[in-house]
Amino acid sequence: EPEVTQTPSHQVTQMGQEVILRCVPISNHLYFYWYRQILGQKVEFLVSFYNNEISEKSEIFDDQFSVERPDGSNFTLKIRSTKLEDSAMYFCASWGQGKVDYTFGSGTRLTVV
């Protein structure tokens, strides 16, 4: 069954550093999403992306965050200057035409120290 692949599975970074989280969505999907889950809390929507632009973003997705689809296969989330409170699991998801469900990746655990 097709999968959404996320790399790395775990990343540790120093506060203030930039990080890029990578996702390879399912190949024929057109809608892409990032969610995050702080330990012990709810899964929260960050941003949705379609046709090479952001279609919706949450209040969490401030100027420190950006997304990009640099080529036909990758979808990235960049955090420009990480804060301690950015420590969380980050999930990428994709949705395809004619499908009713999203497919989520297994997540990247980001630890900011």
Binding site for another protein (CB under 8 A): 4, 31, 33, 35, 42-45, 48, 50, 55-56, 91, 93, 95, 97, 100-107
Instruction: In whole angstroms, give the CA distance from residue 84 to residue 79.
Output: 12
CB 13 → another protein: shortest distance, Å?
A: 20
Other beta carbons within 10 angstroms of residue 43's beta carbon come to 13
CB 92 → another protein: shortest distance, Å?
A: 8
Is the CB of 14 or the CB of 97 nearer to another protein?
97
Q: Are 67 and 76 in contact (CB under 8 A)?
A: yes
The amino acid at residue 69 is R
